[in-house]
């Protein structure tokens, strides 16, 4: 006759032995073997339990049945706990071997185009819609291309506004404006002409919030038989609305003077921050001065052998930095040239 006490005792011995093994097991294969050792058909526990059939007393049978179920549950829970621990260890080992894609360093180091380059790209794209192609010229220019051909003779007082670093002997200088590209283009190409010329220019300036010795400009030139001021105004209005992504912008042309245009204008746009109401950015004027421009002076056309009785056109010039400063409320133009990543990364697209 099977003694229930003996049975329970041997089950309980098996329980503590199994718990020890499970808890000290350190790989998943061994754990699988432990499971079949204690639970499989041929397992030791099954063997012990096969003796239950010999128990005659129903309540004893029930007691031993309940005990063995409890034991199975305890061991199952312990096995799955240990299985989780071991699986996690394996996953972590795998991760150690691969690159940790959660490290922020990698995402933060993505480079991007400089804001000025982004703005120039935008300008080129927008004027491209109107059929303007990109033109360029050298940054080291001759006095003739930079000034004389543009109607600024040697002693012209307007040269004072564009002081630069002259090399007297061969009359070369770092160009002070991109207007020199007008001359180079008109000498190379026959009208009709439609170009946009972005590039670097240099002036003898004291560095301050609004001035640097080097900065960027974009120059536009259209030469054709019937171009007029309203073409200039409508193309620039559409272009600036597109660049600022604001269809409420209007333009205002104020009389001004440039030796290479007649009439000449300062071109203002509605302040896009206050929409003309007046604010700090526009010094309460409601308008922002963004470009210079006008109808190309007949003498400039003659200088490049284009007959002003047949052709006319308009030209304009402005600074991409100015557009960026207004668009992003930046107060100091020097920030664009300091290579401070904290500043530059604000213009990252992703």
Residues contributing to the site for ligand DAH (CB under 6 A): 177, 179, 219, 258, 261, 292-294, 315-317
Q: What are 135's two structure tokens?
A: 């033109």
Q: Which is nearer to ligand DAH, 277 or 302 (CB)?
A: 302
CB 258, min distance to ligand DAH, A: 4
Helix (H, G, I), strand (E, B) or coil at 178: coil
- Displacement of CA 279 from its chain's centroid (Å): 29
Q: Under the phi-then-psi rule, with left for phi > 0, alpha for psi from -120 to 50, and beta for the rest, what region is 144?
A: alpha
- Residue matched to tokens 């006095």: 143
CB 180, min distance to ligand DAH, A: 9
Q: Which is nearer to ligand DAH, 115 or 319 (CB)?
A: 319
Q: Which is nearer to ligand DAH, 35 or 177 (CB)?
A: 177
CB 274, min distance to ligand DAH, A: 26
Q: Which is nearer to ligand DAH, 218 or 336 (CB)?
A: 218
The answer for residues whose C-beta is within 8 angstroms of residue 276's C-beta and 6 or more apart is 270, 286, 287
Q: Which is nearer to ligand DAH, 60 or 289 (CB)?
A: 289
Measured distance CA(145)–CA(141) in Å, rounded: 7
DSSP 8-state secondary structure symbol assigned to residue 177: S
Q: What are 72's two structure tokens?
A: 């199975």
Bridge partner list, 224: 312
Surface-to-core class of residue 61, CB atoms within 10 Å of its CB (0-12 exposed, 13-18 middle, 19+ buried)? middle
CB 307, min distance to ligand DAH, A: 20
CB 235, min distance to ligand DAH, A: 13
CB 161, min distance to ligand DAH, A: 7
Among candidates 197, 199, 214, which has minimal Cα distance to 315? Answer: 197
CB 306, min distance to ligand DAH, A: 16
Q: Which is nearer to ligand DAH, 147 or 336 (CB)?
A: 147
Tell me the CA distances in angstroms from 182 to 9, 173, 198, one per residue in order: 104, 17, 11
Q: Which is nearer to ligand DAH, 158 or 344 (CB)?
A: 158
Measured distance CA(224)–CA(314) in Å, rounded: 9
Q: Which is nearer to ligand DAH, 34 or 253 (CB)?
A: 253
Q: Which is nearer to ligand DAH, 236 or 272 (CB)?
A: 236
CB 341, min distance to ligand DAH, A: 30
The answer for residues whose C-beta is within 8 angstroms of residue 134's C-beta and 6 or more apart is 124, 195, 196, 197, 198
Instruction: Evaluate whether 185 touches 197 at the Cβ level (below 8 Å).
Output: yes
Among candidates 175, 189, 174, 173, which has minimal Cα distance to 135? Answer: 189
CB 203, min distance to ligand DAH, A: 9
């Amino acid at each position: 006759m099977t003694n229930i006490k003996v049975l329970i005792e041997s089950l309980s011995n098996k329980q503590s032995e199994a718990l020890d093994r499970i808890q000290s097991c350190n790989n998943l294969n061994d754990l699988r073997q432990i499971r079949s050792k204690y639970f499989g058909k041929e397992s030791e526990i099954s063997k012990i339990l096969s003796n239950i059939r010999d128990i005659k007393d129903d309540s004893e049978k029930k007691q031993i049945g309940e005990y063995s179920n409890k034991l199975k549950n305890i061991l199952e829970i312990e096995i799955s706990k240990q299985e989780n621990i071991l699986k996690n260890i394996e996953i972590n080992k795998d991760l150690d071997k691969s690159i940790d894609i959660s490290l922020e360093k990698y995402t933060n180091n993505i480079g991007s185009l400089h804001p000025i380059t982004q703005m120039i790209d935008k300008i080129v794209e927008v004027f491209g819609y109107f059929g303007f192609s990109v033109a360029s010229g050298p940054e080291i220019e001759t006095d003739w291309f930079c000034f004389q051909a543009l109607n600024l003779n040697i002693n012209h007082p307007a040269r004072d506004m564009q002081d630069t670093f002259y090399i007297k002997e061969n009359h070369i200088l770092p160009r002070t404006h991109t207007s020199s590209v007008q001359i180079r283009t008109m000498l190379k190409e026959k009208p009709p002409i439609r170009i946009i010329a972005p590039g670097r220019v240099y002036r003898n300036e004291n560095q301050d919030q609004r001035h640097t010795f080097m900065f960027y400009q974009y120059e536009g030139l259209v030469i054709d038989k019937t171009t007029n001021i309203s073409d200039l105004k409508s193309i620039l209005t559409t272009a600036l609305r597109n660049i600022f992504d604001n269809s409420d912008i209007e333009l205002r042309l104020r009389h001004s003077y440039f030796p290479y245009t007649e009439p000449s204008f300062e071109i203002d746009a509605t302040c896009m921050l206050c929409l003309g109401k007046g604010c700090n950015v526009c010094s309460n004027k409601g308008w922002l001065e963004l470009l210079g421009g006008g109808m190309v002076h007949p003498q400039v056309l003659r200088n490049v052998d284009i007959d002003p009785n047949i052709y006319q056109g308009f030209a304009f010039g402005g600074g991409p930095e100015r557009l960026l400063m207004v668009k992003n409320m930046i107060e100091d133009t020097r920030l664009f040239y300091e290579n401070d990543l904290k500043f530059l990364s604000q213009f990252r697209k992703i």
